[in-house]
Amino acid sequence: MAYSSTGFSTIAASKAGNSPAMYAYTTTDALADVNTAGYFNALSGQLSVGDLIYGVTSTGTTAVAALYYVLSNAAGVVDVNNGTVLANTDSD
C-alpha cells in the first residue's frame, strides 16, 4: 500500500529547529511496507534526519507498534530505519 496523510499527525516539533520532531502514524500497512525507502516521500519537505515516528501498523489482524527514525532525506527520498518493535507482552 502507500502512505496516507489521514493517519499522520505531529506530536511535538522543535520551535528552534535544534531537536528532532516526533510524529505518530497509524496504518493498516505492514511494518515491512512502512520501513521501505520512499514510503514517506510525500513528507520529504517536513521530515528531517533524526525525527521520530511512532507507528502502529498491521500484521494481519494484529497491531504492531514500532518506533522509527528518519535515516536520510535527500532529493525527495525519505528512508527510515527498520523500526524498533515495542513489546506487546501482557502477562496478567
Q: 60: number of CA atoms within 13 Å, CB side? A: 1
Measured from the Cβ of residue 45, the count of other Cβ atoms closer than 10 Å reads 9
Whole-angstrom distance, CA of residue 21 vs CA of residue 13? 4
Q: Which pLDDT value is given to residue 8?
A: 96
Cα–Cα distance for residue pair 82/67, rounded to 1 Å: 9
Cβ(48)–Cβ(20) below 8 Å? yes
What pLDDT, on a 0 to 100 scale, did the predictor assign at position 68?
Answer: 97
- Counting as low any pLDDT under 70, the low residues of the chain are 17
- Classify 89 as helix, strand or coil: coil
Q: Nine-digit cell at 28? A: 493498516
pTM: 0.89
Per-residue confidence (pLDDT) for residue 56, from 0 to 100: 94
The per-residue pLDDT for 11 is 95
8 Å CB contact between 66 and 46: no
